[in-house]
Amino acid sequence: MIAQVQRHAPPFTAPGVSEGKIVPNISLADYMGRYVVFFWYPMDFTFVCPTEIIAFNDARDKFRALNCDVIAASGDSDYGIYIDHQGVSLRGLFIIDDKGIIRQITINDLPVGRSVEEVLRLVEAFQHTDKFGEDNHT
């Protein structure tokens, strides 16, 4: 299944770490009723990836205040961000709403990271339009 804006996010279940504890199965279904920022990073122990992870972690209270969780993942995926000929995934980011619908997809080339402040702005904008039905929130 290909991830597309305005469509349900493909279901997933994977092992992970949450609040410093190993979790055997993290599932998108666990986050229904909350917004989710799901971002993929290509490699551990590079320059850009750890700075992004730290920046999202530092902003976790801002995301929580928006009823939004952040999930980070690396590795191969079914989300269309893996570059076969290079053997590495691109920087993918998905904003999924509280009903499981993908509201935004960003895929960056490897050398450019993402802006946490821009992601926060987008979550706020989507939540604003959810509540008020406006099409022109910036």
Domain that holds residue 79: 30-132
Greater model confidence, 137 or 19: 19
Number of domains in the chain: 1
- Does any domain span residue 22? no
Tell me which of 28, 49, 90, 123 is the catalytic residue. Answer: 49
Mean pLDDT of 69-82: 64
Helix (H, G, I), strand (E, B), or coil: what is residue 111? Answer: coil
Residue 68 designated active-site: no
- Does any domain span residue 20? no
**Taking a C-beta distance cutoff of 8 angstroms, is the pair 5, 11 a contact?**
no
pLDDT surpassing 60 at residue 86? no
Could you list the beta-strand ranges (E) of 1-138: 13-18, 21-27, 35-41, 68-74, 82-83, 88-89, 91-96, 102-108
Share of the chain above pLDDT 70, in %: 80
- Does any domain span residue 45? yes
- Tens of pLDDT along 110-132? 777 789 999 999 999 999 999 99
- Does any domain span residue 3? no
pLDDT surpassing 70 at residue 68? yes
The pLDDT of residue 98: 97
Residue 1 DSSP code: -
The pLDDT of residue 76: 44
CATH number of the domain to which 120 belongs: 3.40.30.10
**Mean pLDDT score of the chain, rounded to an integer?**
83
